[in-house]
Chain A
């Protein structure tokens, strides 16, 4: 028996549109999965945010003699956790610095930190940490949205305003769509890789090792240049460094910083604050007002919460710096030893 199935032209068009939508969405998902995600994971420093959360989750059932070093790239680049481990075998040190990160961004990690039960957390801060003009990319908030879990960790909504919450609350579908903005940088990276392979051009940097390293891997020093010539140019041309301006009044970064300290102390995790080393040439160009506001704020925090503040702001000469706030290889060794010994002294007393 022959069955005649008649589908009108209109229905055909509707069916085709629906199928086209499904097929293109499927193809788009493949592009993200096999083209963008590997780029984010291995070839961009944006992948480090996720790796840090994975690190905390892997340490939940580990020992409790861990010391975490948190902060922006200055902490990541300037601290050699392997070297600090060698100073004293009672503690295991982890460098969890994240490029451009500020206290506000670190708040998202707070519950993961607490769950992984470290002995102490060292918070590295510089002028940019409390500035209103230092913009941390929103992208990272989107990429770590699956870990932040604002629904469960309701307290975070007190710290993050609506814009941040929008990124941190991103569901899987929204994140999948959001990731399209990385198609272009991924393509750029792959073109450079192709140029390297075919034309012998400079090899683009792979962040695979860097993103997953919590000890001593750095990127700036890979160039083997002890001083970055770009920094000299910046110093010559730039009159003021607005991105380092710390206001006297409380701002979202300062509140986030206090929130982190409060939460860590509430969970019996020792806190040490470190003022990161800065190049004396850069320091000259930062206003006294900003420096005073920074010092006053940290001294108040130190008193209020009874925590140590280690000041390395002007401890090292220009010789030890790669640029404004990153040490070179020699500087990294000296600073890691100096800081490591101080930390062991403070934590060891407890």
Chain B
């Protein structure tokens, strides 16, 4: 794969005691493209995500992020909140992690914490109500309003996030991640639990985010979403990469089919015949 690489994962290995969750995995994500990471349950996809977003420290290997201006950052050397703050990598979670007791608007305001914190002069300017802070806050509210409008939740801005419907919560979590102005957006199964209409809405949202210039890395089970929007797909099974390529190539790869159906490679033809393909 050629082109402008934003994220390159190089020989990533993650061990938990004796269990090797990710073994010598290498793949890359292109700038302004949607890259999907797929694989059966327990393949190690979320572990890879947690390594990229700093929740785990990889046992070995390198994860490198290259910004628009050519500035490179080793993500495996940053930890915790710095990944989002300095490297501008945002993520969502497999099980939605909003702030349920805060309103939708507040959720999006918290996401702009670092910018607002700076504007409030680390609270001191904000405490005396400095005009520069008021301006920054107004700007933050405008940005939040813009995203609420885009995900169709403008009318429910003042409702508690925990009261929103599940599909709305999923979209709000993506909007919250986007409010941190990320260079790379990592989505952990964004379509899980959505109905067909909601998933197609999600596909549209993700495509519009991509076209706006944010690169997306995506873990997903819903093949219709993955095949529809991905520019590039990497397939994992048992912690290793078994295939990589454009959606069309992946769909016909016998190794991928074998991994999803849970059979050996040489039995694929027989199984396919049985399933009537």
- Whether A and B are associated in the same complex: the answer reads no
